[in-house]
Amino acid sequence: MSPDRYQRIRTVLAKRQTDLTVCLENVHKPHNVSAVVRTCDAVGIHRVHTVWEQKYKLRGGTAMGSQQWVRQTNHDNISDALSHLKGQGMQVLVTHLSDSAVDFREIDYTKPTAILFGQEKYGVTDEAIAMADQDIVIPMLGMVQSLNVSVAAALVLYEAQRQREIAGMYNKQHLSEQTCQEILFEGGYPRLYRMCKQKGIGYPPIDENGQIAADESWWQQMQLTPKAMTALKADEAS
């Protein structure tokens, strides 16, 4: 990894927001999911949460590579997802038209926040609405009643980014150094990262110049075949 790429990744990681996230409930069109993830990367979100009845693969073309930089956590059901987010002290906002809904620009996004978006045709489930802390709406002055989910996400997220920028929240690093090291290796050395995953080898440290600072034993393990690596671990465990 070149020093310039190392500094570029470091700059991005320094602005990642760990207390701002999106939760997608059964958003089933892969290009919509990928577009939302691309926006999440653009505004500095570190992790997105999903609830899917079946797993979908993020489309690299629409995501433009952002799926490599935004972590994803999938939950079995919406109750587990929202309980997890609330357990992190986040206010849960849901895009839903109701008597108690407020304009999305009236929300304080400098608070720890999770924004919930629902399935393209039917929106969020009743269970999700019941668990959310606040309904939000995007004002609509035309004949249509809603926006594409990826467009709606972009509008809300850039309002959150605007407020956080004013509050100086992008001037402080939120990610731990360990997490930064993991992302630096995965993004800076993708081929070696895949080999580590295949062989079950731990990640090496990355120095301030973007170079791998591993000892000789790590490099020796990297030379082993997956089969030989498995045998070595079995010997060490016995």
Contacts of 233 by beta carbon, 8 Å cutoff, 6+ apart: 200
148-171 residues labelled b (16+ CB within 10 A) or e (exposed): ebbebbbebbebbbebbeeeebbe
- Cβ neighbours of residue 168 under 8 Å, at least 6 residues apart? none
- Please list, residue by residue across 136-146, b when 16 or more beta carbons sit within 10 angstroms of its beta carbon and e when fewer do: bebeeeeeeee
Q: CA 61: distance to chain centroid?
A: 17
Put the strands of the sheet holding 91-95 in their side by side order. 71-75, 47-51, 20-25, 113-117, 91-95, 134-137, 102-103
Q: How far apart are CA 46 and CA 21, in angstroms?
A: 8
Q: How far apart are CA 40 and CA 141, in angstroms?
A: 26
- Is 95 part of any known ligand binding site? yes
Check whether 147 is labelled as a binding-site residue. yes
Round to whole Å and give the CA distance between 176 and 178.
Answer: 5
Flag whether 230 is marked binding.
no
Question: Which 3 state secondary structure label does DSSP give 203?
Answer: coil
Annotated binding site: 95, 138, 147
**Binding residue numbers for S-adenosyl-L-methionine:** 95, 138, 147
